Amino acid sequence: MGDEILNKLFIVGIGAGNYEGMTVGAVKALEQADLIVGYTVYCKLIKPYFPDKKFLSTPMMQEIERCRLALEHAAGGETTAVVCSGDAGIYGMASPVLELADKYEVEIEIIAGVTAAASGAALLGSPITNDFAVISLSDNLTPMEEIERHLEKAAEADLCIVIYNPTSHRRAGYLKKACDIVMRYRSSQTVCGIAQNIGREGENSRIMTLSELAEAETDMFSTVFIGNSKTKIINGKMVTPRGYRNVR
């Protein structure tokens, strides 16, 4: 019993940030926490649902500092939750926390969340029912050459592609470049879609062709879906067949 680790850190994926989009496990973890640590925007999104909790937020680009703060507070005896949008293990906080955790005596529990590939797909219809790849266009931690290679291989394999972080002030032309890479292997008329502000004010979705997507306006709150060669529009919905023969 003397060696039991009592200090607790939850790593919580909060989905889009609205209460309805959180898993029951995420809500329970946040209810147990004494302190919630996260990016400023995400803390503001969930604070109305947990008004009695202490919050500690940091700006964008301070992910590592955020992880250290959460680990330090948990090691100090506060039950702590570090939050991120979507799922903690998909472009989230699980990896950096675990990479730093060996310096702290903390028990860690990862709570899965609904990633934008799933919640955005639900807005558009059923665009990723078959095999798909998820690729982020953010080159903060991954060289652009590697991102381009992933895009090319996914396009060549005729996978549906979900694109995270399609645009920012610094990366204005990245989505067009991504579409140009995909069009080396896929028709310019390939069915595509954009889901924006998922689960938040201003939520919307649009369906378009790949050539139209290359010129479309997106932001960091947009998730982009590029269909495969079989993706179609059915009753206004973006649909990729599951792969079974003779469904219709």
Residue type at position 93: M
Residues 80-106: tens digit of each pLDDT: 999 999 999 999 999 999 999 999 999
Average pLDDT of the chain?
93
> Residue 148 corresponds to which tokens in the numbers above?
């381009």
> In this predicted structure, what is the pLDDT of residue 1?
39
DSSP letter for each residue of the chain: -TT----EEEEEE-BTSSGGGS-HHHHHHHHH-SEEEEEHHHHHHHGGGSTTSEEEEE-TT-HHHHHHHHHHHHHTT--EEEEESB-TTSSSSHHHHHHHGGGS--EEEEE----HHHHHHHHHEETTSS-EEEEE---SSS-HHHHHHHHHHHHHTT-EEEEES---SS-TTHHHHHHHHHTTTS-TT-EEEEEESTTSTT-EEEEEEHHHHTT----TTEEEEE--TT-EEETTEEE---S-TT--
**Neighbouring C-beta atoms of residue 217, cutoff 10 Å:** 9
Question: Distance from first CA to last CA of the chain, Å, rounded?
Answer: 61
Confidence (pLDDT) at 2: 44
Q: Which of 189, 182, 233 is CA-nearest to residue 207? A: 233
- Tell the residue number behind the tokens 């005596």, with chain if given: 105
Residue with the two structure tokens 């790849």: 133
Over range 46-75, report the average pLDDT. 93
Predicted TM-score (pTM) of this structure: 0.91
pLDDT at residue 89, rounded to an integer = 96
Tell me the per-residue pLDDT of 166-194, one tens digit each, with 9 for 90 and over.
Answer: 987 777 799 999 999 999 999 999 999 99
In this prediction, residue 59 has a pLDDT band, given cuts at 50, 70 and 90, of confident
Residue 242 has pLDDT above 50, yes or no: yes
- Domains, the chain, in order of start with CATH, read 8-114 (3.40.1010.10), 117-239 (3.30.950.10)
